[in-house]
Amino acid sequence: MAFIDLKYYSAVLGMQTEAAVILPQQDTQGEIGVDNNTRPGPYKCLYLLHGLSDDHTIWMRRTAIERYASQYGIAVVMPRADKSFYTDMKYGMKYYTHIAKELPALIRQFFNVSAKREDNYIAGLSMGGYGALKIGLREAGSFCKAAGLSPCGDMKALVGSGGFEEVIFPIFGEDYYIPDGDDLLALCEARKNDPDCPKIFVAIGTEDFLYENCRSFKKKLEDCGIDHQWREGPGAHSWDYWDEQIKHVLWWMFRE
């Protein structure tokens, strides 16, 4: 695998930004201790999103994502989104448009990755889990599967519980109004009976402070008949949990 610290200009954000990118490498003869399963490109691509307190480097620093990805011969793109909740902010940048629409087009321009829906996937943790599920449900024509680890499943309930006002204010404004396009429960309703709805994977630890919030999303997935995998078990809102669960996400996405 190759690792690229990508610096690039975003016309949507109007500034330079960055992403960490892992790419398959065809010839790794002599490399020791790595299970390389690279196939000829264009490559399948996973967009992997960070959480609220982190940045685009965090998956490389806290997990063995490069080693995990090498088993499947996939590209992994980890963009920077600051504290945006992957939203076109009321008082800030248009991070939804950038990451859901502009970034995939740029990645295909820069690298040999596939443009086919069936070859594009999105996942994330916590804030990024919410972002991945939101982007997957809204951009159903672009992503075939979406996964959230410890995601906020019910944004309205999170805002109503207090404690996130300083973060939420620049995103949604002073009235904290959550539009349907940023509400996972409303997005499930919109995808009800939609054959193009992406398959969904959710993992949450039973000791996670978002556990009950996330179960609201599970119920909505069930009520809407959306194809999904649900994993729960012992675990907190921590990297010990996410490092283990991302391996299950990759197997669910790329085992075939």
What number of residues does the chain have?
Answer: 256
The model's pTM: 0.96
CATH number at residue 139: 3.40.50.1820
Measured distance CA(151)–CA(130) in Å, rounded: 5
pLDDT (tens, 9 = 90+) of the chain, 256 residues, equals 999 999 999 999 999 999 999 999 987 767 777 777 777 889 999 999 999 999 999 999 999 999 999 999 999 999 999 999 999 999 999 999 999 999 999 999 999 999 999 999 999 999 999 999 999 999 999 999 999 999 999 999 988 777 788 899 999 998 889 999 999 999 999 999 999 999 999 999 999 999 999 999 999 999 999 999 999 999 999 999 999 999 999 999 999 7
A 10 A CB-CB count for 170 gives 16
Q: What is the pLDDT of residue 40?
A: 82
Residue 148: name the closest of 256, 75, 245, 20 by CA.
245
Given a contact cutoff of 8 angstroms between Cβ atoms, the answer to whether 159 and 176 are in contact is yes
Q: What is the pLDDT of residue 179?
A: 96
> Tokens standing for 183?
């509400």
What is the side-by-side order of every strand in the sheet holding 2-10? Answer: 2-10, 15-23, 75-79, 45-49, 120-125, 145-149, 199-205, 228-233
Q: What is the pLDDT of residue 134?
A: 98
Given a contact cutoff of 8 angstroms between Cβ atoms, the answer to whether 6 and 20 are in contact is yes
- Domain range for 213: 2-254
CA end-to-end span of the chain, whole Å?
Answer: 20
Q: What is the pLDDT of residue 41?
A: 82
- Count of domains in the chain? 1
